Structure 1
Amino acid sequence: MTDERLAREFDEHRAVLVGAAYRVVGSVSDAEDVVQEAWIRWAGVEHEEVRDVRAYLIRITTRLALNRLRQQKARREQYVGPWLPEPIVPLTTDDPAAAVELADSVSMAMLVVLETLSPLERATFVLREVFDLPYDEIAETLGRSEAAVRQLAHRAREHVHARQPRHQVDRARHTELTVQFMEAAGTGDFAQVVALLAPDAVLISDGGGKKTAALRPIHGPEKIARWLFGVMSSNPGFEVLPAALNGEIAFVAYFGDEPDTVAFIQTSGDLITELYLIRNPDKLTTVPARHALD
């Protein structure tokens, strides 16, 4: 097989592979590095023995992403404050089925849940629940028995299910609540912000020690509102705009042309249960600049 054909075949699946790696590592830059490493592996295999190119590449990529996730352990332990995944812009592909896969399981809320799984559970969940790979292929990929992989998949599903909102809302209602909340925050309507938050709402902010952020999660509507308005009053030059990130509507606070904060909101019923604020500039490098939203 020529190098040109190899590259073309790999590029057909690149967006799906980035999505697979991102779900495992939660970092866009690490996911792209993993996919580049997968390309090197792909260029060196006996391609005539590969029956399903797409499944084979997903398996290679996920295994490499699992290795990268394990390597991140020390970096995560030294991180200042809570660690949140990086926002990701919509990945594009000409394959409609792949487009569905790319949009599935990349919401910030889902990624936060995946962060609570063990590395093996996380990789198993991605391979089984997102890409529907057979248990025997997952077992071969992870170097575990099929029985062990089935147990990993069961634990991961149970854990993810337990962390899902009690009352799911459709995408339109979620967007509506998100817009209402951001408008209330933008106009300084403290009472409306509190009213939109569930009694057990939590705010998690990630500044990485480089931007103002709470070092621990903030619980309760009034505490969350006070913290939010405190941050906004100390940064009066914000311009807040909606953006499509992680398969949902997020809000980006800009200083001039550069993103300063990305906010994601999780809802249950008619109330907001979780807010995720990403402020670490190292995690905002792929977020569109202000002019790109015009």
Structure 2
Amino acid sequence: MVFKNRTARSRFTAGSGSGDEASYIRLFEEARPRLLGIAYRILGSRAEAEDAVQDTFLRWQAANIESIESPGAWLTTACTRRAIDMLRASYRSRVDYVGTWLPEPVQTFIDSGTVAQMELSSSLSTAFLLMLERLTPRERAAYLLHEIFEMSYADVAASLDMNEPACRKLVSRAKSRIGDNQVRYQPSAERQEELLAAFEDAIRTGQPGSLTTMLASDVRLTADGGGKVATVTEILEGDMVLAFLTERLSEWWVAYDRSFTDLNGSRGLVLREGERIVATVSFAYDAADRIKDIFIMRNPDKLDGLGEIRIH
């Protein structure tokens, strides 16, 4: 990534050589995917997460690096606190949001052969990010740092500038507010491909086909147009979902090019009109490997920067 502000001069250490400065920049770049992952999960926005990471870099440039015992912990703390401040401001701005708000989609690379990576990727899902909306900014940060990034309570408390007992209570309260509703469950990659193919076939032909048996009885469809483009503003449920897919979307999306890709940790669909991305589709699943939620992003502001990124 090209840094947004090249005018800020580094003052890492007095008398530092270019080699020292390069090593500090390398430390930051090694931490970038983790910082971006933390910020994105806190904010639900790739653009805002990148801003949080950029602000962290500028603070890193201005810091007295020789006095920092643990660069990784320092960067995590700085980025987390910045993301929390941005989330509070973001909540205030959503009061005037038109229609249903969904997290900004990200295109991710998934190493399906690594269990730890699959676990981490599942916490990028739209369903999981929506579940985190139940939490306060500090609850959200504490829960993510401890439960997803496996930081100790002592380290989380230090990052949030609080004592450890209070941090434990914060995480416990977050867990109780979230509950155990299996939103991070993902079928095998092969099953995801099968479900996605059935969805695409129903859109292409206007016939439900095998998708009928692949949808949960209480399936929901949520779309985010941000008031910028036409889309459904209410959440559709049950039989209304299949009817909408085959009778409406099949007609509206007939001219779009469609391709499969990894979105928010699982297989999804990208629709294009020429070179322009006009929509993404991602899913949440139940324990029977059926689609229980369909998330459609149509807001052009949230699709503008869609591309593959390194995010942990």
Tell me which interval the TM-score lies in, with the shorter structure as reference length: 0.7 to 0.9
Note if 1:230 corresponds to 2:231.
Answer: no
Of 246, 258, 271, the match for 2:290 = 271
Contact 1:55 1:133 in 2 (8 A): no
**Deviations 1:197-222, CA, capped at 9 Å, x for gaps:** 211111110000112222221111x2
TM-score by length of 2: 0.82
Q: TM-score with structure 1 length normalisation?
A: 0.87
For residues 37 and 225 of structure 2, what CA distance do their matches in structure 1 show?
24
Greater mean alpha carbon deviation, residues 70-79 or residues 111-120: 111-120
- For 2:160, the equivalent position in structure 1 comes to 142
- Residue 173 of structure 1 and its aligned partner are, at CA, apart by 2.1
- Structure 2: runs of 5+ lacking an equivalent: 1-12, 14-19
2:92 maps to 1:74: yes
The letter of the residue matching 1:225 is L
Cα distance, 1:52 vs structure 2:
2.5
Change (3 A) 1:234 1:100: closer
User: What percent identity do the matched residue pairs reach?
Assistant: 33
1:32 Cα shift? Answer: 0.7
The root-mean-square deviation of aligned C-alpha atoms, in Å, is 2.7
Moved more, 152-161 or 21-30: 152-161
Larger deviation: 144-153 or 161-170? 161-170
* Structure 1: gaps of 5 or more residues: 290-294
Please say which of residues 19-28 and 239-248 is displaced more in the overlay: 239-248
Per-residue deviation at 1:287? 2.4
Q: How much does 1:24 deviate?
A: 0.5
Equivalent position SS for 1:240: strand
1:98 and 1:39, CA in 2 relative to 1: closer, same or farther beyond 3 A?
farther
Q: Does 1:258 align with 2:276?
A: yes
| Residues 170/145 of structure 1: CA separation in 2 closer, same or farther (3 Å cut) | same
Query: 1:7: Cα distance to partner?
Result: 1.6
Task: State the Cα distance separating 1:286 from its structure 2 match.
Answer: 2.5
* 1:201 maps onto 2:219 in alignment: yes
Which of 21, 33, 57 pairs up with 1:3? 21
Q: For each residue in 1:235-263, what CA deviation from the matched residue of structure 2 results, as whole angstroms up to 9, or x when unmatched? A: 43122210122222110111122111100
Count of residues in Structure 1 that have an aligned counterpart in Structure 2:
286
Distance 1:196 1:172 in 2: 14
